[in-house]
Structure 1
Amino acid sequence: MADVHKATYVYKLIHPSAPPPDPLPESLPLSELDVQSGFIHLSTARQVPGTLKLFYTNEPRMYVLRIPIKAIEKDLRWEAPSVPVSGDGGAESTFPHLYDGKLGSAKVESVVLWEKGEATWDSVLGTEEVISWLLD
């Protein structure tokens, strides 16, 4: 199993009710959760499926931002989540948190919209399009 702390990318899930503007601005508005937490919640490629299923099961679509770790590493911390998640307690049970409060055009490499409709997130995550985009 790869050490998630050596990942090349991290991902930000954006609720469909607040789609990111196109083109991305220099700084995106923070979610209510990110404001309350004092950091921006991110996931590795391996954590995205669990995050989707735990927090966004009933959402028919989700925006996903791909962020190169090199663009944010000075403000990135790996921390245990405040809610229980499945895992073995190893590196994959710590999540990337961005503490500079800004995420936008200079840090985001790519934005996609995943749509599952009435299906499950597993059906979307198993597609070649998603597998080839969601990189470690």
Structure 2
Amino acid sequence: MTAPTPRYLYKLLPSDTPTPESGTLPVSNLDQQSGFIHLSTALQVPNTLKIFFKDEPLIYVLRIEYEKVEGDIRWESPDGKVGGPRGGEGMFPHLYNGHKLGSDEIESMVIWKNEGDWDHVSENAGSWLTY
């Protein structure tokens, strides 16, 4: 059985991400080292927050229409070297497009505040965090 195609993918960014001057977001160190942009599906966002952003006071969450980046997405299994095993979350979307993520790809953005843990986010994200 094949998983349904998502409508959106999500990029989580720490609050200290600089504002892009060229209309394209700066690439994180992790994305540079990996050779692609790490993205998450709506289902994967809660654990990505807990594992990689647990100490961030707030984050920016970019919503990307899957259709706009579909040709540059590779669905890959996390290797577990960073953040440990991610069992049950399936394959992760990785964007291989020369590290370009800007206004052409980003549909909308929200800012989420850390209230001691990130559990409240998926509960309060409503329809914006679309599966």
TM-score by length of 2: 0.87
CA separation of 1:62 and 1:4: change in aligned 2, threshold 3 A:
farther
Aligned counterpart, 1:69: 66
User: Identity over aligned residues, as a percent?
Assistant: 49
Assess if the C-alpha contact under 8 Å between 1:72 and 1:107 holds in 2: yes
Cα deviation, residue 126, structure 1: 1.2
User: Between Structure 1 and Structure 2, which shows a larger proportion of helix residues?
Assistant: 1
Aligned counterpart, 1:7: 6
Q: What residue ranges of structure 2 are gaps of 5+ in the alignment?
A: none
- AA aligned to 1:99 is Y
- Which of residues 22, 31, 36 is equivalent to 2:33? 36
- Say what the alpha-carbon RMSD is for the aligned residues: 2.0
**What do residues 77-120 of structure 1 show as CA deviations (whole Å, max 9, x unaligned)?**
000112233323xxx32100000010000000001100124x21
Cα deviation, residue 17, structure 1: 0.9
Q: Matched residue of 1:93: which SS?
A: coil
**What do residues 1-25 of structure 1 show as CA deviations (whole Å, max 9, x unaligned)?**
x95551111000011111545xx85
TM-score by length of 1: 0.84
- AA aligned to 2:112 is W
Give the aligned length. 127
